[in-house]
Amino acid sequence: MGLVVQDPNVGRNGAGAAELVVVANRLPVEHDEVEGWRRAPGGLVSAMDAVLRDREATWVGWGGHPADDPDAAAGGPPERVGTVALVEVPLTAAEVTAHYDGFANRALWPNYHSGIVASTYHRSQFQVHREVNARFARAAAGVAAPGAVVWVHDYQLQLVPAMLRQLRPDLRIGFFLHIPFPPLELFSQIPWRVQIVEGLLGADVVGFQTRDAALNFRRAAERFADVALTAEGLAVGRPPRPVVVRAFPIGIRAADFRALAEDADVQRRAKQVRADVGEPDVLLLGVDRLDYTKGIDVRIQAITELLLDGELDPAGTAFIQVAPPTRAKVEEYQQIRAEVELLVSRANGTLGPLGTNPIHYMHQPMPPEELVALYQAADVMLVTPLRDGMNLVAKEFVASRVDGAGALVLSEFTGAAEQMDRAWLVNPHDIEGMKRTILAAIHEPRASAEARMAALRAGVARHDVHWWAEDFLAAVRGAAAVPGEDAGGTDPA
């Protein structure tokens, strides 16, 4: 299957003209039968969308549907979204099954998220995964101008940096992993650990969400590749080539969230949300893709126990759990959906007199205005994943609380916890501890609660998505321009 090149910037002599190329598994748009081409889901797209808003760039990615699906959108994605030219890498249904549903989401995703569910490794899937990565590398090589910066994203495309370097040694290549990088004992289980490490080491800069993830990768590289540790990262091969390895914690579009939160319609809607769920004394909120990594089940269990024990009043408490569908073809996602839905209906069926349904579960995507209204309506936001690379919901909630109120309960096992230590940190495996912390967050006196939120809000505003992207791009430009020197800046707090 050939590459569909729709970028007007593509040069005629084979080399491209794009000075900045983003390579990600998904394009920033996906096709919906009703809405047409709309924004694709996930934190990666949301972050890069903001970063590229006023920047000329070319985005290489998959359109979100199999190219040989008879229902696939005729004509492919739009040529551009704002300043960004789109280049689609089509995948057949068989490739989507093997590369995306299979290797990326049943081998890599669970392994990188602490093995919460078991990974399954299939040689045939890795084969397809490698071919798909090669196609992405060729597409990027075809559109990049001489000496261009190419920014490769996430676990689905870890083989791309080395493939790209081989095709185009002139390029400056950055790779950023949006999810955790596992400890050595876990990573070592992957049959293709050497290929993955070598793939990533093709970049000039390999960026992670946290210092722990960067450390884990340095250990994996030391074990499985020909590298020497340096102050900035690694020296790779002979003669040694420097690779910067460090944390670049991703931020959010803080100003956009603040602006939405200040919008009068959104504020009216926030009041209406509380009315819609019966004007509770306490409104708890969870917002997560319906993923087994997010700890939605343990959160529901903790709240249900508090309601059953009478520590929270079923008539005065509402819990809204927004959990949009995700990766619905993957078995483990079907299982977590069934579990969550059983827990919700069990809890509501058991609790309270007629008319009391404390848990409001919404299995649907949510537009940003509605999301911010929910953030503003909540008393306590529950972000309790078992493992998460960063978790942008925690930051979005904080940025949306322009009223200074609200409380954030945050899992220690998120990247966000490294920066947001003024949140109510919890271990989601410790259900009693979580229950105690939820109660403490609900009952905290107003002055100290506001002090926490003010500190959190200042951090989220300062270390926003633009700060993150500038830091990363400066590292890529600097690292390649002055070989042997780290231009990575200071390690962020």
Nearest to 163 by CA among 125, 135, 128, 143: 135
Residue closer to ligand G6P by CB (options 44, 52) is: 44
Q: Which stretch binds ligand G6P (CB under 6 A): 39-47, 256-264, 368-376, 463-471?
A: 39-47
Place of tokens 């309506």: 377
Place of tokens 């340095």: 218
Query: Roughly what angle, to the nearest 10 degrees, separates helices 211-224 and 193-200?
Result: 110
Rounded to whole angstroms, the Cα distance separating 342 from 94 reads 32
135 binds ligand G6P (CB under 6 A): no
Rounded to whole angstroms, the Cα distance separating 268 from 271 reads 5
178 binds ligand G6P (CB under 6 A): yes
Residue 292: both structure tokens together? 């087994």
Q: Which stretch binds ligand G6P (CB under 6 A): 36-44, 136-144, 249-257, 279-287?
A: 36-44
Find the binder of ligand G6P among 10, 21, 27, 44 (CB under 6 A): 44
At 457, which helix (H) or strand (E)?
helix 446-462
Helical residues (DSSP H) of 351-405, grouped into ranges: 368-377, 392-400
Find the binder of ligand G6P among 16, 21, 22, 26 (CB under 6 A): 26
User: Least Å distance between CB 45 and ligand G6P?
Assistant: 6
29 binds ligand G6P (CB under 6 A): no
User: Least Å distance between CB 291 and ligand G6P?
Assistant: 8
233 torsion bin: left (phi>0), alpha (psi -120 to 50), beta (else)? left
CA torsion sign for 309, 311, 314, 315 is positive
Find the binder of ligand G6P among 154, 379, 418, 464 (CB under 6 A): 154
Query: Residues 6 or more apart from 214 whose CB is under 8 A from it?
Result: 181, 208, 245, 246, 247
The size of the chain, in residues, is 493
User: Least Å distance between CB 24 and ligand G6P?
Assistant: 7
Rounded to whole angstroms, the Cα distance separating 410 from 416 reads 8
User: Least Å distance between CB 64 and ligand G6P?
Assistant: 8
Return the SS3 of 392: helix
User: Least Å distance between CB 42 and ligand G6P?
Assistant: 3
Phi and psi of 415, rounded to 5°? -60, -35
Nearest to 446 by CA among 395, 481, 417, 403: 403
Residue 264: both structure tokens together? 């009068």
Residue closer to ligand G6P by CB (options 326, 437) is: 326
Q: Which stretch binds ligand G6P (CB under 6 A): 38-46, 81-89, 168-176, 202-210?
A: 38-46
113 binds ligand G6P (CB under 6 A): no
Task: Please state, as a whole number, how many other Cβ atoms lie within 10 Å of the Cβ of residue 482.
Answer: 11
Find the binder of ligand G6P among 294, 299, 327, 422 (CB under 6 A): 327
- Taking CB atoms, the residue at the shortest distance from ligand G6P is 42
Per-residue CA distances from 114 to 31, 211, 313 (Å): 32, 16, 35
43 binds ligand G6P (CB under 6 A): yes
209 binds ligand G6P (CB under 6 A): no
User: Least Å distance between CB 484 and ligand G6P?
Assistant: 32
Q: Which stretch binds ligand G6P (CB under 6 A): 35-43, 128-136, 379-387, 433-441?
A: 35-43
Residue closer to ligand G6P by CB (options 117, 282) is: 117
Q: Which parts of 414-473 interact with ligand G6P (CB under 6 A)? A: none
Per-residue CA distances from 486 to 123, 183, 197, 475 (Å): 38, 25, 21, 7
286 binds ligand G6P (CB under 6 A): no
Find the binder of ligand G6P among 216, 293, 326, 411 (CB under 6 A): 326
Find the binder of ligand G6P among 3, 4, 11, 41 (CB under 6 A): 41
Task: Please state, as a whole number, how many other Cβ atoms lie within 10 Å of the Cβ of residue 281.
Answer: 12
Residue closer to ligand G6P by CB (options 178, 457) is: 178
Residue closer to ligand G6P by CB (options 326, 357) is: 326
Find the binder of ligand G6P among 20, 179, 201, 398 (CB under 6 A): 179
42 binds ligand G6P (CB under 6 A): yes
Whether the Cβ atoms of residue 290 and residue 325 lie closer than 8 Å to each other:
yes
Residues that bind ligand G6P (CB under 6 A): 25-26, 41-44, 154, 178-179, 326-327
